Structure 1
Amino acid sequence: MIRFEPREPASLSRLILVPVAAAVVALALAAIPMGFAGLNIFKAYGLMATGAFGSLFAFTEMLTRATPLILTGLAAALAFRAKLWNIGAEGQLYAGALAAVAVGTGVIDAPSFVLIPLVVFCGALAGGLVMLGPTLLKTRLGVDEVVTTLLLNFVILLFVQMMLEGPMKDPMGMGWPQSEPILDAAALPKLMARMRIHGGLIIALVAALGVYLLLKRTVWGFEIRAVGENANAARHAGIPVTATFIRVGLISGALAGLAGVGEVAGLKGYLTADLSPGFGYSGIVVAMLAGLNPIGVVVAALFIASIFVGADSMSRATGVSNYLADLIVAMALISVLVSGLFLRFKVRFVGQRHTEGAAK
């Protein structure tokens, strides 16, 4: 018989080692199907490293891909800290993008120093309001937020498609379902000439620092951590649990909405239904790899982004599908979950006689 026994709280070094080991294990496991595909494993990983870090262009592409992952990772990490299971960052991302396009395509005529903050604020507000609904359903009616946030992803995407086929469709788009382009005055500035890296990266890094300070240096952060540890005990101690959930939901949704703002106002310039290849779902992996640590989210997002960008490059060079990146990310998530289990619990094998004696 197998029995799980709680361990002592893990040391900082062990907490850092677990996600690193999970990433190494994921890369090792991914080498198995690569070998069956006939690839030289060392050459394949070398191509991936070169594709992500081998040139200035490759490095900036990796940072560009990491930008929305940092924000959706922060959205998941903050919500999960309070045990508010936000699985809807994908929908919140699209809501933020839709709001950014609605404001930034000519509705308001203003200079950049007014229009850019307005677009960013409206995108964050839209993402936060989308998460507010499931949060209120959880706190008022006890509805499972995993279900509501997950299903809202599909509702919002269908709504975006309807808007792109209807009132927000670009009349100059030659029939393609896309929005009008963001005005130059509303676009986030490029950080480097002739590169796609944009000001959304600065927003993401500031957000990571802000969430870290919120959790570690403020009363709200203490309340979030207390509610996440034990909501009933926190309520008994006088902490406003419902208000804490609502704050966390609004901030979490706003962070995911900012990811959508960055993709339309910083990178693509207009909204399409395929804006995100799953940044909201990948953000959950980023948060878990980071151990829900906001600073760790940045590192984990860079790792996941380098996998995606490197796999694209390797795929072009070898002809192997770039879905290998999804395989590595999935294995990294499984590895970190399993390692987290063994980090919290010791496994003991108990004999039948011992079990019967304990029962008596």
Structure 2
Amino acid sequence: MRLERRQAVSRRAMVLAPVGAVAFTMAVAALLVLWAGAPVGRTYMLLLQGGFGSVFAWSETLTRAIPLMLTGLSVAVAFKARLFNIGAEGQLYGGALAAVAVGGLHGGTGLEWPVWLLFPSMMLAAALAGALLLLGPALMKLRLGVDEVVTTLLINFIVLLGVSALLDGSMKDPTAMGWPQSVSLQDSLALGRLVAQTRVHTGLLWGVALALMVWALFKYTVLGFDIRAVGANARAAAFAGVPVTRTVVTVALLSGSLAGLAGAIEVAGRTSYVTLDMSPGYGYTGIVIAMLAGLHPLGVLAASVFVAGVLVGADTMSRAIGVPTYIADVIVAASLIAVLVATLLTQFRVRRR
């Protein structure tokens, strides 16, 4: 058996690939549900109801989807140029810390900035922190040939250790009764609520707007063409005159900025301070979302809502029939593998020798 590249990939196949991958994943998860002794139909019904069955369910799903949209966009932008950013988790925490440093510790400087200046400064600091955390691995790849998968993954652990040190040190909230958390943002910097008496905040509008901007960047700009060209074949792109180094650096800055903004929006919209468990793996889940979306910015929006709905619905399902919530993690992880295989089969066909 061998793989033979298809001469053309139909749009229909590209659309059906993630759908088929999700269906296959749900079939695999059904075996685990049966193993747990629960009815498959009722389990999946409760999963859907918990994630999408009411206004409250939708509000919780959308709240969970907001950081996933931004980390998914971060990964999609980087992967589009074959810059394999596995460090969105660390970049998210870096952005969150930078946001708190500007919007929380600012009060101790003796200066009083107006909100219209402080809020964009906070967001800019978060974006810059995320961008710098990815710029280093990108430059090491370009200049030294260092594998960015290794460097970005290791930086996640470095950042988390740094966060732990800061939360027990200079950024620790003295009013937290010894709990390791940062100081809180000023109340005036909190994002507003989209729906009254829910946790859905205006960060959702940020996610949608940024997805539209990234889509327009890919589709209508020269930079978007350069990114696609570098992702398709960097050597051929360089031969055709595409500035590969400048394009990869730009992608690194953009991708890291999006992950950093995810941290700032999560702090300003939901937590108001940084803790070590602020993110239950949003950066890593962003990889799954980007792959489910086929690296399409608008597809990231739908994929993030789907994944968030599964994670939120798992809690309701577990309380009702006793199936462990880890089934949601199995669904998310298995969907990534299924999407990779489905995408491979859309580009290659299996031939018998």
TM-score between both structures, scaled by the size of structure 1: 0.95
What is aligned with 1:357? none
Q: Deviations over 1:63-113 (max 9, x none)?
A: 011111111111111100100000000000000000011111150533333
- Secondary structure at 1:119 match in 2: helix
Structure 1 segment 185-264 matched on structure 2, within 5 A: 185-264=188-267
Structure 1 segment 1-360 matched on structure 2, within 5 A: 2-107=1-106, 109-350=112-353
Percent sequence identity over aligned pairs? 55
Q: Deviations over 1:29-78 (max 9, x none)?
A: 10001001011111111111111111111101100111111111111111
Whether the aligned pair in 2 keeps the contact of 1:116 and 1:188 (CA below 8 Å) is: no
Q: Which has the larger radius of gyration?
A: 1
Q: Deviations over 1:216-252 (max 9, x none)?
A: 1000001001111111111111111111000000000
- CA–CA separation in structure 2 for the residues paired with 1:120 and 1:329: 30
Offset, 1:188: 1.5
Q: Deviations over 1:153-189 (max 9, x none)?
A: 0000000010000000000000000011111111112
- CA–CA separation in structure 2 for the residues paired with 1:177 and 1:274: 10
User: What is the RMSD computed on CA atoms of the aligned residues?
Assistant: 1.0
Whether the aligned pair in 2 keeps the contact of 1:134 and 1:149 (CA below 8 Å) is: yes
1:16 to 1:105, Cα distance in 2 relative to 1, 3 A: same
- Secondary structure at 2:193 match in 1: coil
- CA–CA separation in structure 2 for the residues paired with 1:330 and 1:144: 23
> More displaced, 20-29 or 168-177?
20-29
Matched to 1:36, the amino acid is W
Whether the aligned pair in 2 keeps the contact of 1:116 and 1:187 (CA below 8 Å) is: no
- Secondary structure at 2:3 match in 1: strand
- CA–CA separation in structure 2 for the residues paired with 1:276 and 1:306: 17
**Unmatched 5+ residue regions in structure 1?**
351-360
**Unmatched 5+ residue regions in structure 2?**
none
Matched to 2:84, the amino acid is W
- Secondary structure at 1:107 match in 2: helix
- CA–CA separation in structure 2 for the residues paired with 1:192 and 1:114: 26
